[in-house]
Amino acid sequence: VKVPSIAMTKVDDIYIGSMRTARGVNCTDFLDSFGDIYINHGGHAGAAGFSLTAQNFEKFQQKIAGLVQDLKLGADEDQTVDIDAELTAQYVNDDLMKIVDMFEPYGNENPELIFMTQRARIAGAQILGKGERQHLKLYLEIGSQKWPALWWDQAGRYKTEFNEGDLVDVAYNFQRNTFNGHEGRQLVIVDCRHS
């Protein structure tokens, strides 16, 4: 679930903070509501920064606790995925990278293209990472090709929701993967559901 976030660090007697938005919260409006407790602050609707003295830190904490209770969040963007194109198996090939490259550079105002393919078969899986953050690498058969497909932070879903042999409808980004001097292609899963 995406929510607005604030990260802070203390340097001597000064707290320096950074805010990033989610779900319709305007960063500058949110920070403006704290009044004059800052040394300085600024930014835009999507991201902002600020600094305050250590003596104002407790005031900041109290104010933020009150504001969070009344904060109205918009819909969680994770609930829906905007698909740019649905591709049948014949179009999922290395030439797709040429199309992806034409839309660069990607960023907040130009998000990566999201493709969707139905009835891909899970041909295998691998768990990546250690500790709490474990990722799932699926091998998806799409037509006659087998594609590596990374699914960040979703290792727990393998063998509970998804198994080898399952047919899935998958939304994904198409990306380069460079490792040990070898460049390949991979899918990065945005969402995956049973067909």
Residues 147 and 170 in one domain: yes
Residues 65 and 111 in one domain: no
Residues of the domain holding 96? 81-194
pTM above 0.85, yes or no: no
Per-10-residue mean pLDDT of the chain, 195 residues long, equals: 81 91 78 86 86 92 81 61 92 90 87 95 92 88 95 90 95 89 90 93
pLDDT of residue 75: 55
Residues 110 and 171 in one domain: yes
Residues 73 and 85 in one domain: no
Residues 87 and 50 in one domain: no
Domain boundary among 30, 53, 77: 77
Residues 177 and 87 in one domain: yes
Residues 91 and 187 in one domain: yes
pLDDT of residue 177: 86
Residues 158 and 106 in one domain: yes
Residues 42 and 131 in one domain: no
pLDDT of residue 6: 87
pLDDT of residue 3: 75
pLDDT of residue 179: 79
CATH number at residue 57: 3.10.310.30
Domain boundary among 77, 107, 136: 77
Residues 69 and 106 in one domain: no
pLDDT of residue 164: 96
Question: Which tens digits make up the pLDDT trace of 5-41?
Answer: 889 999 999 999 998 877 677 888 888 888 788 999 8
Domain boundary among 24, 52, 77: 77
DSSP string, the chain: ----EEEEEEETTEEEEEEE--TT--HHHHHHTT-S--SEEEE-SSEEEEEEEGGGHHHHHHHHHHHHHH------GGG----SEE--GGG-STTHHHHHHHTPSPBTTBPPP-EEEEEEEEEEEEEE-STT--EEEEEEEETTEEEEEEETT-GGGBTTTB-TT-EEEEEEEEEEEEETTEEEEEEEEEEEEE-
Residues 163 and 121 in one domain: yes
CATH number at residue 108: 2.40.50.460
Residues 115 and 56 in one domain: no
Please state the domain count of the chain.
2
